Structure 1
Amino acid sequence: MKTEHDWITTPVTTDILRGFLDVEATAHGLLPHRLPAQARRQIPDDQLAVAEAQPSGVRLVFRTRATTIELDTLPTKRVYLGFPAPADGVYDLLVDGHLTAQATVAGGNLRTITDMVTQSAELREGPAGTARFTDLPARDKIVEIWLPHTEITELIALRTDAPVEKVPDSGRRVWLHHGSSISHGSNAAHPTAVWPALAAAKGGVELVNMGFSGSALLDPFIARAMRDTLADLISLKIGINVVNTDAMRLRAFTPAVHGFLDTIREGHPTTPVLLVSPILCPIQEDTPGPLAPDFGGGVLRFKATGDPAERAAGRLTLNVIRDELARAVGRRAVDDPNLHYLDGRDLYGESDYAEFPLPDEVHPDPAGHRRIGENFAQLAFTGGGPFADQPA
């Protein structure tokens, strides 16, 4: 066991953080955010406020010869009233790009969701803890520690048994991605197994993940945050939350899509942008929202509660969304050759659903995340894909 004199403590600063848009100094340490402060002041509900503070895709990156690494954090975990406490979130440690070790942090704050519809919650404060990694290779190496994708994580202290150095910019392209809970990582087993993280690894790019559970709703402040974020590649996975919250009708949806794209183009006039429609979700293909929780058998599933007959009055379904997104891209492509469209069913469609059904009828399981990540990498980053180094 190391004594206190053997440890080197390195301040956790933005110099060794990746995948964030902002940080907040707290009473305990440093809290990474995935939206800037100005955008956070415009958030209208608690769901997005929690989601953007959950560090999906956020990681520490540094060079070291350390064989033992400790990271003190204060996690905030989430549980639904009446359901068992969640498993502790996983910290993934990569050595030179390869997953080498995993750890968890027990304790922490516990946020209990008392109403799934209103997202009202009660917070019970708890102690900080330590993610500990041992027996790492005793050589010079680049270490990445990916934070739990669904646990708000305040970073307190980093300790190692060898010095830590900042890693220069990798020179890899930066991929900025926005989407819903699937992009955020719902049901993924660990942070580097979230589908955008898998696709980024295969594509050799630096990920900034702006996937927000339940909150891909074409909010203007998110578009402005993306406009102002440096990126070489941008993707938008839009539609499922608009349908399952029943947030818009067709008349409002189409201008909102154009407005979102217009805002992004103010800061990224020629950057490749890939607009991705929803993956297959049978309960909402032709049935409008809103979604409602279904606790039958003590297992959380979702059901669509809208009336399919109301599509004629402008109620949205996934098929309506896909048609409208494809039409919008087609119209804009005349003046914007760097805007592209991808049908989400090419990432996860009927054959994928037959092989890897959606456990709660909405979110893929870990195998589904792998399939989506593999398909996205193949379609976007290779051959004539819009994110290929040299598209055909």
Structure 2
Amino acid sequence: MHSQNIWINTAITKDLLFGALDLERTEHGILPHRLPARARAQCADNQLATAEAQPSGVRLAFRTRATIIELDTLPTKLIYTGAPPRSQGVYDLLVDGQLIDQTGASGGNTVTIDLATAAERWQPGPVSTVRFADLPDRAKRVEIWLPHNERTELVGLRTDAVVEPVLDDSRRVWLHHGSSISHGSVAASPSTTWPAIAASRGGVELINLGMGGSALLDPFTARALRDTPADLISVKIGINVVNTDVMRMRAFGPAVHGFLDTIREGHPSTPLLVVSPIHCPIHEDTPGPGSFDLEALGRGELRFVATGDPVECAAGRLTLRVIREELARIVAQRSVDDLNLHYLDGCELYGQADYAELPLPDQLHPDAATHRLIGERFAKLAFTANGAFSSVF
């Protein structure tokens, strides 16, 4: 065993961090971002700023013989007044690809959000130490997956043995963009969001640009995808376009084409998979905007409802069913000339029959068991023979 009195401090640098597109130096340490600074400067939306700074899919990865690891972090926790308490952020520790420990970070900043008025109150808090002990005393690959739902500033890393970067990783890089469902909302932990599960099954390195409420075909997101090195790319489009009621059919089709055109500027022949929305009854045939169910909030429950009028679909209002049809049409049209462009119907990942067995708890987001189901199905459909991401191609 290593002496617990001898600590090695290791600077947290980009060669130890996977899944982030930018690292911001703060007064406390390093803040991982999932969008580059140029993209962040082009949108003042607080929802996006919150989502992209929550490190879904971001993990420290290194090789070490350490039996004890301590990570100092400054989390920022969200509190929603009038809603059930949010689950505390979880840090997953993987050794040679296997999840062996989980813990949370106490302390940290808090942001209290009034759901009725959208008013926010920020309260500073102390740095916390996340500790993993009794690790196997052998050379091993260690990954610490940061909480997918908590902004996390990395302050310090201490171990009882030397830390070395992972330099021999030949696995393909999978770059994925989507909504809060891809971000991991309601998943049990960061390594068990559906993209993380699919990446593990597919044997690839994940960069997860799933961002709650922010999969809106933004040009700056397309440019981030364009400029990020990747072997495989997927974009999951639809639910946020509907529940923010951000555009009509006239704008949607050209926006999808433009989004894909931009990605192709940097990745002309990379396998590119367009994924339509999973089954979500409130928006299948009812347009947005989506809203909190005020009656449920009065009972202390968080649920969502669709507030649009289905009659207005004839005038171009969007629903999930309409979006699936349009995405399938666009991919079929483009794939005549783009043989590496593919389409996956989201209902193959989670459909009407699945909803009967595993309903969406808040009418919008899948629970932990459903994240696992979606991740395993995506891996089977995309990474195996004849899939868009098959290693055969």
Counterpart CA distance in 1 for 2:240 and 2:32 is 24
Runs of 4+ in 1 over 4 A off after TM superposition: 2-5
Shift of 1:107: 1.1
Q: Equivalent residue for 2:93?
A: 93
Q: Equivalent residue for 1:157?
A: 156
Matches within 5 A, 1:218-229: 218-229=217-228
Q: Equivalent residue for 1:341?
A: 343
Counterpart CA distance in 2 for 1:113 and 1:47 is 12
Shift of 1:169: 4.3
Instruction: Could you tell me which runs of 5 or more consecutive residues in structure 1 were left unpaired when the two chains were aligned.
Output: none
Shift of 1:88: 2.1
Counterpart amino acid of residue 137 in structure 2: A
Kept in 2, the 8 Å contact 1:46–1:119? The answer is no
Aligned to 2:169, the other structure's residue is in SS state coil
Shift of 1:252: 0.3
With the length of structure 1 as denominator, give the TM-score of the two structures: 0.97
Q: Equivalent residue for 2:329?
A: 327
Q: Equivalent residue for 1:274?
A: 273
Alignment root-mean-square deviation, CA:
1.4
Candidates 327, 334, 359, aligned match of 2:361: 359
The percent identity for this pair of structures is: 67
Q: Equivalent residue for 2:244?
A: 245
Deviations along 1:127-157, one digit per CA (max 9) or x if unpaired, are 1101100111011101000000000000000
1:42 to 2:55 alignment: no
Candidates 378, 383, 386, aligned match of 1:384: 386
Kept in 1, the 8 Å contact 2:111–2:121? The answer is yes
Q: Equivalent residue for 2:285?
A: 286
Counterpart CA distance in 1 for 2:18 and 2:119 is 31
Counterpart amino acid of residue 76 in structure 1: T
Change (3 A) 1:161 1:185: same
Matches within 5 A, 1:1-392: 5-115=5-115, 119-295=118-294, 296=296, 297-391=299-393
Kept in 1, the 8 Å contact 2:82–2:115? The answer is no
Shift of 1:84: 4.9
Deviations along 1:236-272, one digit per CA (max 9) or x if unpaired, are 0000000001000000000000000000000000000
Counterpart CA distance in 1 for 2:3 and 2:120 is 41
Counterpart CA distance in 2 for 1:266 and 1:121 is 39
Aligned to 1:11, the other structure's residue is in SS state coil
Aligned to 1:359, the other structure's residue is in SS state coil
Which region of structure 1 is more displaced relative to structure 2, 166-175 or 266-275? 166-175
Counterpart amino acid of residue 369 in structure 1: H
Instruction: Could you tell me which runs of 5 or more consecutive residues in structure 2 were left unpaired when the two chains were aligned.
Output: none
Counterpart CA distance in 1 for 2:311 and 2:85 is 40
Shift of 1:369: 0.2
Deviations along 1:338-357, one digit per CA (max 9) or x if unpaired, are 10000000000012111110
Aligned pair count? Answer: 390
Counterpart amino acid of residue 378 in structure 1: K
Shift of 1:87: 3.1
Aligned to 2:377, the other structure's residue is in SS state helix
